[in-house]
Amino acid sequence: MFNKILIANRGEIAIRVLRACRELGIKTVAVYSDADKNSAHAQLADEALHIGDSSPKESYLNADVLIRAALDSKADAIHPGYGFLSESASFAGKVDSAHLTFIGPSADSIRAMGDKAESKIAMKKAGVPTVPGYEGLESDNDFKQAANEIGYPVLVKASAGGGGKGMRVVNNESELSEAIESARREALNSFGDERLLIEKYLPNAHHIEFQVFGDQHGHLVHLFERECSVQRRHQKIIEETPSPLLTNELRAQMGEAAVKAAKAVHYQNAGTVEFIFDPQLSTYYFLEMNTRLQVEHPITEHVTGLDLVQWQIRVAAGERFPYSQDQLTQRGHAIECRVYAEDPANNFLPSTGKLLQYIEPRGPGIRVDSGFRAGDEVTHFYDPLLAKLIVHGEFRELAIQKMQSALKEFIVHGVITNIDFMQAVLAHDDFAKGKVSTRWVENNFNWSPAVEPSFESLIAASLADLTIVNRQSSIVNSNEPDPYSPWKNPSGFRI
Ligand code: MV4
């Protein structure tokens, strides 16, 4: 087993990883940028190293500085978390070359799944269902012919793409060449690669992804699905498992397809195979594979009873994953809500500021993963994710009720959050019926706050703010050490 792990990330996921390390008896090294010098993730680790200024490029995205930090602190492995360098094949390769262990898949697996066109070709070869379409076309005429064969509407996508960049829906032939031109331009700007693919457009699709997990000894299983259809602009908001749409038969089929997809690239460690699911036809197609731990991994942990981060570390150290597919089951229903510091009434603009009051919900079956505490600053440098609220109940209706109750207890002042917005989604009839497709938030849900906050609640909030401001001023704004501080001041940690 490893002696010490460097966590090349920040915020809630850095804390999630360091807790897993601590439980396994492994020492932790945190890294932090200027903006994060007082952050919880740095204070909770055994050691913390300053790696650069606040911009991600100068800190959490700087591969060489991170590897230097790991070598200097005598860590033997690096956990990349999600985002930042977690899906960089070149970073994984550099970690290997430095004789450190990258806790994740091999650089080759990351590379094989990194390109949409390449991975789609590999999946077709492996017998995994892909959306009907073509790769490698060049002339407008080739695209025109392909579109006629597929049948409109079609979708033009950047081969090198991800996250919806360089994607254009084309409803008929008259729109085609304009769409190709603008998609090419966007693909070139975003990825430095103008190759496009074309496929059938599925308008009412659901996003259903399968967690997969493999060890270094060729054993690879799936850990069931996550339904992630509540999203806007490719940003997920609510995820749940099991999906309300899948029968056990479909679940088994898609799970098998996910395992096939991962095995085709000799996958090891945690990964996610994304499918697009058409509820009218009950058909599913491979979209892409995310070669990292995902934000929404906790819901899978709750229904399977597995600690995915601990298993990531254990299999990276060479341990066998001990469960066969038959031994794995889903128990109950889990939902995650992503609490963002953003303003739903103002086009979901990020909201920054000091967390004057921050109180997390508690209770049976309630989990909060967050990198923030009261008094912390939410800055514009990083993702505005304040916390992940995860609930686990016996079945879907109970889990929804538990989430609604927990969101009511979640109190945040100082920044605007999407909590009320998520309450409105959870209370919607379409959500209750599992009818939310990936376009639902944008199309059917023009949300503005239903009621103005009451006078009493405004007074209560102001009083709470005043108390916190006074309390925090003696902790956060003072140079005197707080005698009651639960945070130790580890060696190597510089303020
Ligand atoms: C699609 C699609 C409909 N038909 N492909 C969005 C980003 C990338 N992962 C693929 N995406 C989509 N591909 C076909 N053939 C609809 C989407 C899509 C989507 C997919 C998953 C999750 C959210 C989405 C939101 C809008 C569109």
Determine the distance separating the centroid of ligand 1 and the alpha carbon of 164, expressed in angstroms.
Answer: 7
Which one of 292, 314, 338, 367 is the catalytic residue? Answer: 292
* pLDDT on residue 474: 43
pLDDT at position 38:
97
Q: Tokens in use for 210?
A: 């399968």
- Cα–ligand 1 centroid distance for 163 (angstroms): 8
**Three-state SS across the chain?**
CCCEEEECCCHHHHHHHHHHHHHCCCEEEEEEEHHHCCCHHHHHCCEEEEEECCCHHHCCCCHHHHHHHHHHCCCCEEECCCCCCCCCHHHHHHHHHCCCEECCCCHHHHHHHHCHHHHHHHHHHHCCCECCEECCCCCHHHHHHHHHHHCCCEEEEECCCCCCCCCEEECCHHHHHHHHHHHHHHHHHHHCCCCEEEEECCCCCEEEEEEEEECCCCCEEEEEEEEEEEEECCEEEEEEECCCCCCHHHHHHHHHHHHHHHHHCCCCEEEEEEEEEECCCCEEEEEEEECCCCCCHHHHHHHHCCCHHHHHHHHHCCCCCCCCHHHCCCCCEEEEEEEECEEHHHCCEECCEECCEEECCCCCCEEEEECCCCCCEECCCCCCEEEEEEEEECCHHHHHHHHHHHHHHCEEECCCCCHHHHHHHHCCHHHHCCCCCCCHHHHHCCCCCCCCCCHHHHHHHHHHHHHHHHHHHHHCCCCCCCCCCCCCCCCCCCC
Q: Which pLDDT value is given to residue 492?
A: 45
Distance 487 CA to ligand 1 centre (A): 43
Mutate to test the pocket of ligand 1, among 280, 438, 439 (most ligand atoms within 8 A of CB): 438
Nearest CA to ligand 1 atom 19: 438
Protein residue closest via CA to atom 6 of ligand 1? 164
Distance between Cα 83 and ligand 1 center (Å)? 19
320 part of the active site: no
Distance 346 CA to ligand 1 centre (A): 25
Instruction: Say which residue the tokens 């892909």 belong to.
Output: 130
- pLDDT, tens digit, for every residue of 112-146? 999 999 999 999 999 999 999 999 999 999 999 99
Grade residue 162 by pLDDT with cuts at 50, 70 and 90. confident
Distances (CA, A) of 57 to 13, 61, 259, 264, 313: 19, 5, 35, 33, 26
Cα–chain center distance at 195: 26
- pLDDT, one tens digit per residue, over 209-222 is 999 999 999 999 99
What is the rounded CA–CA span in Å between residue 157 and residue 285?
15
One-letter amino acid of 390 = I
What number is the average pLDDT over the span 6-32? 98
Nearest CA to ligand 1 atom 14: 201
Q: Which pLDDT tens digit goes with each residue over 186-244? A: 999 999 999 999 999 998 899 999 999 999 999 999 999 999 999 998 899 999 999 99
Q: Measuring from each residue's beta carbon to the nearest atom of ligand 1, which residues come in under 6 Å?
A: 131, 155, 164, 199-202, 205, 207, 231, 234, 276, 287-288, 438
Instruction: State pLDDT tens for residues 352-387.
Output: 999 999 999 999 999 999 999 999 999 999 999 999
Closest ligand 1 atom to Cα of 288:
9
Question: Which amino acid residue places its CA nearest to atom 25 of ligand 1?
Answer: 438
| Atom number of ligand 1 nearest to Cα 201 | 4
Quick one: average pLDDT of 48-74? Answer: 98
Q: Tens digit of pLDDT for each residue in 276-313? A: 999 999 999 999 999 999 999 999 999 999 999 999 99
Work out the pLDDT band at 476, boundaries 50, 70, 90: very low
Kindly indicate the confidence band of residue 468, based on its pLDDT and cuts at 50, 70 and 90: low
Torsion-angle region of 491 (φ positive above 0: left; ψ -120 to 50: alpha; else: beta) = beta
- State the pLDDT confidence band at 454, using cuts at 50, 70 and 90: low
> Quick one: average pLDDT of 94-111?
98
Q: Across residues 243-251, what is the average pLDDT?
A: 98
User: Which pLDDT value is given to residue 5?
Assistant: 99
Structure tokens, 457: 């609640």
Report the nearest-CA residue for atom 15 of ligand 1. 201
Residue closest by Cα to atom 27 of ligand 1: 438
CA angle 297–85–354, rounded 5-degree value: 70
CB contact set of 298 (below 8 Å; sequence gap of 6+): 334, 336, 367, 369, 388, 390
- How far is residue 488's CA from residue 336's CA, in Å, rounded to a whole number? 31
Q: How far is the CA of 201 from the centre of ligand 1 (A)?
A: 9
Token duo for residue 187? 């693909």
